[in-house]
Amino acid sequence: MALHLRRPTARRTARRAVLALAGALGILLASVPASAAPGDPSTAAEAAELVAARGHDLEALTEEFNEAREVLRSQRAAAEAAQAELDRATAALAEAQQSVRGVARSAWTGEGLTGFEALMISDSADEFVTRMSTLQHVAGHQGELLARAADASAAAAEAQARVQASVAEAQRQYDAVAAQQRDLQAQIAEYQAMHDRLSAAEQQAVAAAAAESHSARASRAERTEPLAAAAGPVVANGAAAQIAVDTAMAQRGKPYVWAAEGPGSFDCSGLTLYAFRAAGIKLPHSSRMQSQMGQPVSRGNLQPGDLVFFYSPVSHVGIYIGGGQMVHAPTSGDVVKVAPVDALGGYAGARRIAA
Active-site residue set: 268, 316, 328
> DSSP string spanning 174-233?
HHHHHHHHHHHHHHHHHHHHHHHTS-HHHHHHHHHHHHHHHHHHHHHHHHHSPPPSS---
Sign, CA torsion 112/114/117/119: positive
Say which DSSP state 342 is in: G
CA atoms of 248 and 319, how far apart (whole Å): 8
Is residue 240 within 8 Å of 281, Cβ to Cβ? yes
Is residue 49 within 8 Å of 130, Cβ to Cβ? no
CA atoms of 18 and 61, how far apart (whole Å): 11
CA atoms of 221 and 350, how far apart (whole Å): 17
- Where does residue 24 fall: left (phi above 0), alpha (psi -120 to 50 degrees), or beta otherwise? alpha
- CA-based nearest residue to 296, from 354, 346, 350, 241: 350
- CA-based nearest residue to 267, from 212, 332, 171: 332
Please count the helices (runs of H) and the strands (runs of E) in the chain. 8, 6
CA-to-CA separations, 22 to 13, 100, 140, 184, 202, in angstroms, rounded: 14, 72, 74, 10, 19
Q: Angle at the Cα of 96 (from 90 to 101), degrees rounded to 5?
A: 125
